[in-house]
Chains A and B, each alone.
Chain A
Amino acid sequence: MHEVMGMAKLIRKRETLLFAIIVVMIAVFSTRAADFASPDNLAGIFNDTAILIILALAQMTVILTKSIDLSVAANLAFTGMAIAMMNAAFPGLPLIALILAAIVIGAALGSINGFLVWRLEIPPIVVTLGTLTIYRGMAFVLSGGAWVNAHQMTPIFLSVPRTPILGLPVLSWVAIIIVALMYMLLRYSQFGRSAYATGGNPTAAVYAGIDTGKTKFLAFVLSGALAGLSSYLWVSRYAVAYVDIANGFELDSVAACVIGGISIAGGVGSVAGTVLGALFLGVIKNALPVIGISPFTQMAISGTVIILAVVFNARRERNRGRIILRDRAAAEVAA
């Protein structure tokens, strides 16, 4: 049953393959634009992709529990608007308070999703399709449709994510720290293991004493909190807040997960895969203008990549381990 360990396994791993594809892509693009593969440009691409990486990890946690969070981008828009307005109205507020506020507001919006999924057992896709429009609508109600522009924001609010530390901007470091934290959380914490179990085999998870509903709730809260954190990074990076920011970004976060080998059926996937999935999209996005392709093609490319990735994932999932316990008991206990 066990496969031979070592090189063969490493090559067959999704993460290795994806990494190789990204390297080849960068090599090909650098034949068209010589400095595409320069360390500076690569660092720039990573910095550009930092927010997508954070949101994709948020999405991944939710998907692991057999759910989906389509409201992450709307959450980002609302929370970003809220803290930008706070910053504009009370310039004296310390930045740390605003960032904490962003995380708390984001987590609160996430907990609404989580509550509806956990307590009312409404399917996650319906809940988050609904809250997607509600949160973005609330961003409009909050701002009255007005923009918060760079000159209304305090200098420190704008400068922190750009400040370089050891050659990389703070924005990149935040992404790196989140990646490390998420890796430890999902691999070593009780919540992380419960998340995998909840999605992998809900019935067995229930028998093992895992509260699958609560695990989903916590995943949504975490997703909301990360969306809240991203909202500050987004508003500060682009120096503007308006109702439509990050419109459609929820699909990019799902795309990064699917490309990274996260099974939409739950329970399968790694932090490394998600990060590589996000970087894959980031490289393409940055390469299009360099190789002279219209940015309008990007949407079709991500669509094609999502479909190809799903086809590819399905192949792999077909020979997954046996599921000994049928889903019935889970439906009775939690669903």
Chain B
Amino acid sequence: MSMVSAPPGKQTSEKRVIPNRLGTPFRRILASWEVLLFAVAVLIFIFNSLASPYFLDAWNLSDATFNFTEKAMIAFAMALLVISGEIDLSVASIIALASTAMGAAAQVGIGTPGLVLIGIGTGLACGIFNGVLVSVLKLPSIVVTIGTMSLFRGISYIVLGDQAYGKYPADFAYFGQGYVVWVFSFEFVLFIVLAILFAILLHATNFGRQVYAIGNNDFAARFSGIPVERVKFILFLLTGIMSGVAAVCLTSRLGSTRPSIAQGWELEVVTMVVLGGISILGGSGTIGGVVIAAFVMGLVTFGLGLLNVPGIVMSIFIGLLLIITIAIPIIARRIKAMSSR
């Protein structure tokens, strides 16, 4: 997607210096996707507080965070996956399967630590399954995960049919309903911690650089000695684990499991990732962008909720948001190209 313009410098210089970090002028920072997105978030915040007198309240805002924390946890892992040029459409179905596994375990009296292990373990197993299909059998991730999307949720339907699991242990409720300090819920704190961990993983480790390299040029990455398939496998595994974590939080928050749990979340997670400035073609984007995108989506849906807009109409906004945010930079580039001609 990003066109690398040839450096205007002199080709004949005695020694070519390739800086680690290009100096970024202040104007470029201002025009960066993350800053624009942050401005949008602030605008929505101001608009919401003007539109509804109930918006600006610490507990109310704390409630609003539940709209995005679980999805954002998956979005962090999905961001890495999309940067590497792959996608996982089965994340919502992994939640359904993990939640069903936890529900079944809860019925036979397994305690909270066991349930958490089972939830995350199911996510891990699903991630391994996707990872094997994509990186060992070398199949296209879009189709594979469309398949596993129906398979994983399909297993939940076989187990549950039109039934539901309830009866979770009392202390299991903490993950989705507990608060660490004051208005800061367990989920919100986990969201922040995970954001930091993923930001470090992507932006400050060898592994992160490999993910970018693969997304930019899979071929060149291979020739540079990057274990492309192994990195992709680990990313699917991470996405599975994060879906398992999200399943623990969501199940704990709802206190029940139906096979239709988290239906359609894959779309919202992908939207969050793309809105966060991750190129859907791979190779670029930041975790910071995804964090801001999570806030934007949470604020939009919460604000619309306060205005009594039904959920399905909100999904129109999410769909529009997805397309418009991708279209804007493309149109802007066109206009720029036209005006410079």
Contacts and interface: CB of A to CB of B under 8 A. Distances in A.
Contacts of A306: 143, 146-147, 150-151
Nearest to A305: B147
Contacts of B140: 264-265, 310
B330 A314 contact: no
Nearest to A126: B280
B337 interface: no
Nearest to B322: A130
A296 B157 contact: yes
A22 interface: no
B323 interface: yes
B204 interface: no
B152 interface: yes
A31 interface: no
Chain B: interface secondary structure? Answer: helix
Contacts of B137: 311, 314
Interface string A294-312: 1011111111101100110
A131 to B, nearest CB: 7
A301 B319 contact: no
Interface in B247-268: 259, 264, 267
A303 B151 contact: yes
B133 A137 contact: no
Contacts of A258: 143, 147
A68 interface: yes
Given A116-B327, A243-B312, A303-B148, A310 B154 contact: no
**How many interface residues does chain B have, given as a range?**
35 or more
A122 interface: yes
B282 to A, nearest CB: 11
Contacts of B316: 133-134, 137-138, 141
A191 interface: no
A158 B146 CA distance: 34
Contacts of B87: 125
B21 to A, nearest CB: 28
Interface in B295-341: 310, 312-313, 315-316, 318-320, 322-323, 326-327, 330-331
A116 B319 CA distance: 13
Interface in A283-300: 294, 296-300
A243 B151 CA distance: 25
B307 to A, nearest CB: 15
A126 B272 CA distance: 12
A300 B280 contact: no
Interface string A100-130: 0000000000000000100011110111011
B157 A141 contact: no
A331 B76 CA distance: 29
Contact of A123 (B259, B281, B315): B281
A254 interface: yes
B312 A314 contact: no
Contact of B154 (A127, A134, A303, A314): A303
Contacts of A132: 267, 319
Interface string A53-76: 000000000000000100000000
B138 interface: yes
B158 A297 contact: yes
A182 interface: no
Given A251-B146, A311-B139, A137 B319 contact: yes
A139 to B, nearest CB: 9
A134 B330 contact: no
B155 interface: yes
- Most chain B CB within a 10 A radius of its CB, from A116, A122, A294: A122
A255 B316 CA distance: 26
B323 A137 contact: no
Contacts of A123: 280-281
Interface string B63-78: 0000000000000000
A303 B152 contact: yes
Interface in B152-171: 152-155, 157-158, 161-162
Given A296-B161, A299-B153, 14 more contacts: A122-B326, A123-B280, A126-B274, A126-B322, A130-B323, A134-B319, A140-B313, A251-B146, A251-B150, A255-B146, A300-B154, A300-B157, A310-B144, A314-B137
Sort A-B residue pairs by CB-CB distance and give the 9 closest, nearest first: A300-B154, A303-B151, A303-B150, A299-B154, A137-B316, A306-B147, A133-B319, A134-B319, A307-B147
Interface of B: 87, 133, 137-140, 142-144, 146-155, 157-158, 161-162, 259, 264, 267, 270-271, 274, 280-281, 310, 312-313, 315-316, 318-320, 322-323, 326-327, 330-331
23 contacts: A122-B327, A122-B330, A126-B274, A126-B280, A133-B318, A134-B323, A137-B313, A140-B310, A141-B313, A254-B143, A255-B147, A264-B143, A294-B158, A296-B162, A300-B151, A300-B154, A302-B150, A303-B148, A303-B151, A306-B150, A310-B147, A314-B137, A314-B138
